[in-house]
Amino acid sequence: MHPDLRGFALPAAFLAAVLALSGCSTIHPPKGAALPAAPSDPLLLVSIDGLHPERINAQDSPNIARLAAGGVQARWMTPSYPSLTFPNHYTIATGLRPDRHGIVHNSMIDGELGTFRLSDREAVGNGAWWGGEPVWVGAEKAGMPTATMFWPGSEAEVAGVRPTRWHVYDESSSDAERAATVAGWLLEPEPTRPRLATLYFHAVDTAAHTYGPDSDEARAALASIDAAIGDLLTRLAEGGRLAHTNIVLVSDHGMAPVPPGNQISVGDMVAMEQARLSSIGQVVLVQPKPGFEAEVEARLLGRQDHYECWRRAELPARWHYGTHPRIPAIVCQMDEGWDALLPQQMEARARGGMRGSHGYDPALPSMRAVFIASGPAFRSGAVIDPIDNVDVYPLLVRLLGIPAADHDGDPEALLPALR
């Protein structure tokens, strides 16, 4: 949809397809029954990084709001700990907590593999980092073609399997280009049409980090993504595929405002010569160097100004975190609205304005994520109770009609969303 058409009624073909979703004459299996692997009903999994449920409304995101109104929306979805991008996207894809699938942070250290950073394409593409079985691997093993337009983990060969089609992440790819590519896939003839496709958008997260979650820039980023999704829905409707496509739209986490000056230098938290830090930001992972264990613990453990630290075995149980070997001895959690930075970052950040961050306690309202689903498998116009993001995976495999791998989700949590 072109930007100058946003806010206007969608084409008649799209409206007819939406009506078809709510009044479809197809005979559906009983609620909760495993759905057949019907090649005519592909599954599209969409993520908008950093999108909070409060932004799903007619003003900020009219096309997404229409999608929700014609399908199912959870009041919110709770992310897994830590509430960061890579851990939570891979949790949605596998149904495993980060503590079990091994992507325990956006930045981490492994004794055998070395260092993992988001910008390190070699590490990101190395399947040894990625545990569990993402849904596209399960679909491929079942003989279903899959296509991923960016998703953490989809660039790697996990358990020896890659998606049929996949892309190395390219941040310069526009929202419209991403959506158009995926629409093209879903409009292909049945022999080549992917049974599962993924689509990822980053711009809301980027703008909210830089300018704050309530900024004009963050709203503009969402408007661009919303327009791209509107265009995708229109293309599918005009091609006769919308009424035969199940769409699950999620986000990985929300975002909290970080006022100027709300930063702590990690050098003031712990002496850098006494410990190795594998991450900073909101979740600070600390490994004391040999001989300094007692000093580092004495300085960090317990409640401090604007953060709290625990031994890994003593973290709050509700976080389901602390057993994976990539998690070091001490985990420090920043308070909402505070960041831990390297000493050389402090001055520049202090001169800046309002920013945004996530990675805080997943139970905080600011960290809430989005769950929306629409299509022939789903109820129309339904709002359901909050869910946990590990519960998305059992829904995805149910929609595909494939066996579920080991996961931490509740297969019954999203039954109220189904017809």
Residue range 3-257+363-417, CATH number: 3.40.720.10
Which tokens hold the place of 137?
Answer: 């691997």
Tokens of 38: 């019907």
Give mean pLDDT, residues 276-288. 97
Beta strand 146-149 with 196-201 is parallel
What was the pLDDT predicted at 1?
A: 35
Residue tagged 């070997």 (tokens):
325
pLDDT tens column, 133-151: 999 999 999 999 999 999 9
Residue 32: per-residue pLDDT: 38
> Going along 35-82, which residue ranges are E strands?
43-48, 72-74, 77-78
Q: Is the pLDDT of residue 86 over 60?
A: yes
The pLDDT of residue 8 is: 31
Q: What is the pLDDT of residue 5?
A: 30
What pTM did the predictor assign? 0.90
Which residue carries 């309002």 as its tokens? 354
Q: How far apart are CA 225 and CA 374, in angstroms?
A: 18
pLDDT tens for each residue of 87-141: 999 999 999 999 999 999 999 999 999 999 999 999 999 999 999 999 999 999 9
User: Confidence class of residue 236 from pLDDT cuts 50, 70 and 90?
Assistant: very high
Contact indicator for 378, 369 with CB cutoff of 8 Å: no
Distances (CA, A) of 356 to 200, 210, 260: 20, 7, 10
- Is 24's pLDDT higher than 60? no
Q: In this predicted model, what pLDDT tens digit does every residue of 294-311 receive, in sequence order?
A: 999 999 999 999 999 999
pLDDT band at 40 (very low <50, low <70, confident <90, very high): low
For CATH 3.30.1360.180, the residue range(s) in the chain are: 263-353
Higher pLDDT, 371 or 27: 371
How many CB atoms neighbour CB 67 within 10 A?
Answer: 25
* Residue 159 phi, psi (nearest 5): 55, 35
Q: Does domain 263-353 have CATH number 3.40.50.1820?
A: no
Start-end ranges of CATH 3.40.720.10 in the chain? 3-257+363-417
Confidence of residue 33 (pLDDT cuts 50, 70, 90): very low
pLDDT-based confidence at 350, cuts 50/70/90?
A: confident
Mean residue pLDDT of the chain comes to 91
Beta bridge partners of 275: 288
